[in-house]
Amino acid sequence: MIKITAQGLTDQLSELTELEQRQIPFATALALTRTAQDVKAAIEAEMPTVFDRPTKWTLNSLRLIPARKDRLLARVWIKDEADKSSPATKWLAPEVYGGDRPDKRSEAMLRARGILPAGKYVVPGAGADLDQYGNIKRGQLTKALSGIRGFGETGYNANATDSKRSLAKRNAQSFFVLTKAGKPIGIARRTGRKREDLSIFLAFVDKPTYRKRLDFFGIGERVANERLAFHFEEAMAQALRTRRR
Protein backbone atom coordinates (compact mmCIF):
# COMPACT_ATOMS: atom_id res chain seq x y z
CA MET A 1 0.00 0.00 0.00
CA ILE A 2 1.26 3.48 -0.85
CA LYS A 3 0.93 5.89 2.08
CA ILE A 4 1.32 9.61 1.45
CA THR A 5 1.99 11.68 4.58
CA ALA A 6 2.92 15.27 5.46
CA GLN A 7 6.56 14.39 6.20
CA GLY A 8 7.56 15.79 2.83
CA LEU A 9 6.21 19.22 3.76
CA THR A 10 8.54 20.03 6.67
CA ASP A 11 10.23 22.98 4.95
CA GLN A 12 6.96 24.51 3.76
CA LEU A 13 5.27 24.18 7.17
CA SER A 14 8.13 25.86 9.03
CA GLU A 15 7.79 29.05 6.94
CA LEU A 16 4.05 29.62 7.42
CA THR A 17 2.54 32.65 9.12
CA GLU A 18 0.26 32.33 12.13
CA LEU A 19 -2.80 32.76 9.88
CA GLU A 20 -1.54 30.06 7.52
CA GLN A 21 -0.75 27.75 10.45
CA ARG A 22 -4.46 27.63 11.32
CA GLN A 23 -5.21 26.37 7.81
CA ILE A 24 -2.64 23.58 7.87
CA PRO A 25 -4.98 20.62 8.57
CA PHE A 26 -7.36 21.49 5.71
CA ALA A 27 -4.61 22.36 3.22
CA THR A 28 -2.52 19.31 4.11
CA ALA A 29 -5.44 16.88 3.78
CA LEU A 30 -6.36 18.40 0.43
CA ALA A 31 -2.77 18.26 -0.83
CA LEU A 32 -2.31 14.65 0.27
CA THR A 33 -5.53 13.57 -1.43
CA ARG A 34 -4.69 15.37 -4.67
CA THR A 35 -1.22 13.83 -4.65
CA ALA A 36 -2.75 10.39 -4.12
CA GLN A 37 -5.01 11.03 -7.10
CA ASP A 38 -1.91 11.75 -9.19
CA VAL A 39 -0.26 8.57 -7.92
CA LYS A 40 -3.31 6.48 -8.76
CA ALA A 41 -3.55 8.00 -12.25
CA ALA A 42 0.15 7.40 -12.92
CA ILE A 43 -0.06 3.72 -11.93
CA GLU A 44 -3.18 3.23 -14.05
CA ALA A 45 -1.42 4.85 -17.01
CA GLU A 46 1.50 2.45 -16.56
CA MET A 47 -0.67 -0.69 -16.63
CA PRO A 48 -1.23 -0.86 -20.42
CA THR A 49 2.53 -0.57 -20.99
CA VAL A 50 3.47 -3.53 -18.75
CA PHE A 51 0.42 -5.79 -19.14
CA ASP A 52 -0.78 -7.48 -22.32
CA ARG A 53 -4.30 -6.19 -23.06
CA PRO A 54 -5.32 -5.50 -19.44
CA THR A 55 -9.04 -5.87 -18.78
CA LYS A 56 -11.20 -3.02 -17.54
CA TRP A 57 -11.25 -4.76 -14.13
CA THR A 58 -7.46 -4.56 -13.96
CA LEU A 59 -7.43 -0.92 -15.07
CA ASN A 60 -10.06 -0.15 -12.43
CA SER A 61 -8.47 -2.21 -9.66
CA LEU A 62 -7.01 0.57 -7.51
CA ARG A 63 -8.64 2.21 -4.52
CA LEU A 64 -7.87 5.66 -3.14
CA ILE A 65 -8.57 6.46 0.50
CA PRO A 66 -8.48 10.26 0.90
CA ALA A 67 -6.89 12.13 3.78
CA ARG A 68 -8.94 14.04 6.34
CA LYS A 69 -8.13 16.94 8.64
CA ASP A 70 -8.09 14.53 11.57
CA ARG A 71 -6.18 11.83 9.65
CA LEU A 72 -3.41 13.31 7.54
CA LEU A 73 -2.76 10.21 5.48
CA ALA A 74 -3.88 9.35 1.93
CA ARG A 75 -3.55 5.79 0.67
CA VAL A 76 -3.55 4.04 -2.70
CA TRP A 77 -3.82 0.25 -2.88
CA ILE A 78 -5.39 -2.59 -4.81
CA LYS A 79 -9.05 -3.32 -4.14
CA ASP A 80 -9.33 -6.33 -1.86
CA GLU A 81 -13.06 -6.99 -2.08
CA ALA A 82 -15.22 -8.51 -4.81
CA ASP A 83 -18.74 -9.72 -5.43
CA LYS A 84 -18.70 -12.99 -7.38
CA SER A 85 -15.23 -12.68 -8.89
CA SER A 86 -11.85 -12.83 -7.20
CA PRO A 87 -10.59 -9.64 -5.51
CA ALA A 88 -8.04 -7.65 -7.49
CA THR A 89 -5.34 -8.25 -4.88
CA LYS A 90 -5.40 -11.95 -5.77
CA TRP A 91 -4.21 -11.52 -9.36
CA LEU A 92 -2.50 -8.11 -9.24
CA ALA A 93 -0.37 -8.44 -6.10
CA PRO A 94 1.98 -11.02 -7.74
CA GLU A 95 2.61 -8.47 -10.50
CA VAL A 96 3.64 -5.93 -7.85
CA TYR A 97 5.72 -8.17 -5.58
CA GLY A 98 6.65 -11.04 -7.92
CA GLY A 99 6.68 -14.68 -6.81
CA ASP A 100 3.91 -17.28 -6.91
CA ARG A 101 0.26 -16.58 -7.59
CA PRO A 102 -2.65 -18.14 -5.68
CA ASP A 103 -5.12 -20.56 -7.26
CA LYS A 104 -7.68 -19.23 -9.68
CA ARG A 105 -11.27 -20.08 -8.86
CA SER A 106 -11.37 -22.70 -11.62
CA GLU A 107 -8.13 -24.27 -10.37
CA ALA A 108 -9.50 -24.54 -6.84
CA MET A 109 -12.61 -26.27 -8.18
CA LEU A 110 -10.63 -28.71 -10.31
CA ARG A 111 -8.27 -29.44 -7.43
CA ALA A 112 -11.16 -30.07 -5.04
CA ARG A 113 -12.59 -32.58 -7.51
CA GLY A 114 -9.30 -34.43 -7.77
CA ILE A 115 -8.88 -33.46 -11.43
CA LEU A 116 -6.00 -30.98 -11.13
CA PRO A 117 -2.96 -32.62 -9.49
CA ALA A 118 -1.18 -30.95 -6.59
CA GLY A 119 1.44 -28.48 -7.77
CA LYS A 120 -0.18 -28.05 -11.18
CA TYR A 121 -1.94 -25.02 -12.62
CA VAL A 122 -3.96 -24.35 -15.76
CA VAL A 123 -3.18 -22.32 -18.85
CA PRO A 124 -5.25 -21.97 -22.05
CA GLY A 125 -4.54 -24.51 -24.76
CA ALA A 126 -4.91 -24.30 -28.52
CA GLY A 127 -8.54 -25.42 -28.28
CA ALA A 128 -9.63 -22.52 -26.09
CA ASP A 129 -11.49 -19.55 -27.53
CA LEU A 130 -9.94 -16.40 -26.09
CA ASP A 131 -11.57 -13.03 -25.59
CA GLN A 132 -10.09 -9.68 -26.60
CA TYR A 133 -7.91 -9.70 -23.48
CA GLY A 134 -6.38 -13.12 -24.12
CA ASN A 135 -8.47 -14.91 -21.48
CA ILE A 136 -10.72 -17.92 -21.96
CA LYS A 137 -14.28 -16.83 -22.63
CA ARG A 138 -16.24 -17.26 -19.42
CA GLY A 139 -19.16 -19.11 -20.99
CA GLN A 140 -16.87 -21.66 -22.58
CA LEU A 141 -15.02 -22.28 -19.32
CA THR A 142 -18.36 -22.82 -17.57
CA LYS A 143 -19.38 -25.41 -20.18
CA ALA A 144 -16.07 -27.23 -19.85
CA LEU A 145 -16.16 -27.41 -16.06
CA SER A 146 -19.81 -28.41 -16.14
CA GLY A 147 -19.13 -31.18 -18.62
CA ILE A 148 -16.42 -32.72 -16.46
CA ARG A 149 -18.33 -31.98 -13.23
CA GLY A 150 -15.81 -29.32 -12.26
CA PHE A 151 -18.11 -27.08 -10.22
CA GLY A 152 -18.17 -28.02 -6.57
CA GLU A 153 -19.57 -25.04 -4.67
CA THR A 154 -22.75 -25.52 -2.67
CA GLY A 155 -25.64 -23.84 -4.39
CA TYR A 156 -23.86 -23.44 -7.72
CA ASN A 157 -26.19 -24.76 -10.41
CA ALA A 158 -23.89 -24.78 -13.43
CA ASN A 159 -23.30 -28.52 -13.11
CA ALA A 160 -25.37 -30.61 -15.47
CA THR A 161 -28.14 -32.22 -13.44
CA ASP A 162 -30.77 -34.82 -14.25
CA SER A 163 -33.09 -32.05 -15.34
CA LYS A 164 -30.41 -30.91 -17.77
CA ARG A 165 -29.54 -34.32 -19.13
CA SER A 166 -29.17 -33.28 -22.77
CA LEU A 167 -26.92 -30.35 -21.91
CA ALA A 168 -24.79 -32.57 -19.71
CA LYS A 169 -24.40 -35.07 -22.50
CA ARG A 170 -23.31 -32.42 -24.98
CA ASN A 171 -20.81 -30.89 -22.56
CA ALA A 172 -19.42 -34.26 -21.50
CA GLN A 173 -18.95 -35.25 -25.14
CA SER A 174 -17.18 -31.96 -25.92
CA PHE A 175 -14.83 -31.74 -22.91
CA PHE A 176 -13.00 -34.44 -21.00
CA VAL A 177 -9.90 -34.96 -18.86
CA LEU A 178 -6.88 -35.98 -20.92
CA THR A 179 -4.39 -38.32 -19.25
CA LYS A 180 -0.89 -39.58 -19.97
CA ALA A 181 0.49 -42.63 -18.18
CA GLY A 182 -2.58 -42.48 -15.98
CA LYS A 183 -1.97 -38.87 -14.87
CA PRO A 184 -4.16 -35.89 -15.86
CA ILE A 185 -2.32 -33.51 -18.17
CA GLY A 186 -5.18 -31.26 -19.22
CA ILE A 187 -8.73 -30.89 -20.40
CA ALA A 188 -9.34 -31.74 -24.03
CA ARG A 189 -12.00 -30.40 -26.34
CA ARG A 190 -13.65 -32.45 -29.08
CA THR A 191 -15.42 -30.55 -31.89
CA GLY A 192 -15.95 -33.44 -34.30
CA ARG A 193 -15.27 -37.10 -34.97
CA LYS A 194 -11.89 -36.73 -36.68
CA ARG A 195 -8.51 -36.78 -34.96
CA GLU A 196 -7.84 -33.21 -35.98
CA ASP A 197 -11.04 -32.19 -34.20
CA LEU A 198 -9.40 -32.94 -30.84
CA SER A 199 -7.42 -30.18 -29.10
CA ILE A 200 -6.17 -29.13 -25.67
CA PHE A 201 -8.58 -26.74 -23.99
CA LEU A 202 -6.69 -26.37 -20.69
CA ALA A 203 -3.15 -27.61 -20.14
CA PHE A 204 -1.94 -28.55 -16.67
CA VAL A 205 1.49 -26.98 -16.06
CA ASP A 206 3.96 -26.49 -13.22
CA LYS A 207 3.44 -23.59 -10.83
CA PRO A 208 4.00 -20.28 -12.64
CA THR A 209 6.36 -17.80 -11.02
CA TYR A 210 5.83 -14.11 -11.70
CA ARG A 211 8.52 -11.47 -11.94
CA LYS A 212 7.68 -8.01 -10.66
CA ARG A 213 6.24 -6.11 -13.61
CA LEU A 214 4.32 -3.18 -12.14
CA ASP A 215 6.61 -0.78 -10.27
CA PHE A 216 3.77 0.18 -7.97
CA PHE A 217 5.79 1.62 -5.11
CA GLY A 218 8.45 3.19 -7.31
CA ILE A 219 5.83 5.11 -9.27
CA GLY A 220 4.11 6.16 -6.07
CA GLU A 221 7.29 7.50 -4.50
CA ARG A 222 8.33 9.39 -7.64
CA VAL A 223 4.95 11.05 -8.17
CA ALA A 224 4.55 11.93 -4.50
CA ASN A 225 7.98 13.59 -4.43
CA GLU A 226 7.17 15.54 -7.58
CA ARG A 227 3.64 16.67 -6.75
CA LEU A 228 3.12 16.98 -2.99
CA ALA A 229 4.75 20.38 -2.48
CA PHE A 230 2.97 21.81 -5.52
CA HIS A 231 -0.41 20.59 -4.31
CA PHE A 232 0.24 21.95 -0.83
CA GLU A 233 0.92 25.45 -2.15
CA GLU A 234 -2.29 25.35 -4.19
CA ALA A 235 -4.29 23.92 -1.30
CA MET A 236 -3.00 26.56 1.12
CA ALA A 237 -3.94 29.32 -1.30
CA GLN A 238 -7.41 27.80 -1.63
CA ALA A 239 -7.73 27.51 2.16
CA LEU A 240 -6.84 31.17 2.66
CA ARG A 241 -9.29 32.29 -0.03
CA THR A 242 -12.18 30.31 1.39
CA ARG A 243 -11.48 30.61 5.15
CA ARG A 244 -14.13 31.93 7.51
CA ARG A 245 -13.46 35.52 8.53
Does the pLDDT at position 154 exceed 50? no
Least confident of 15-29, 40-54, 219-233: 15-29
Segment 39-66 mean pLDDT: 93
Query: What integer pLDDT is reported at residue 172 of this predicted model?
Result: 47
Query: What integer pLDDT is reported at residue 155 of this predicted model?
Result: 34
User: Which pLDDT tens digit goes with each residue over 64-80?
Assistant: 999 998 999 999 999 88
- Banded model confidence at residue 42, pLDDT cuts 50, 70, 90: very high
Query: What integer pLDDT is reported at residue 120 of this predicted model?
Result: 92
Give yes or no for a contact between 73 and 67, defined as CB atoms under 8 angstroms apart: yes
For the question of whether the overall pTM of this predicted structure is more than 0.75, the answer is no
Most confident of 17-26, 139-148, 219-228: 219-228
79-87 long-range contacts (CB < 8 A, ≥24 apart) are 85/57
Domain boundaries, the chain: 2-98+210-242, 102-207
User: Which pLDDT tens digit goes with each residue over 180-207?
Assistant: 888 899 998 887 778 778 889 999 999 8
Comparing CA positions, the residue from 122, 123, 135 lying closest to residue 55 is 135
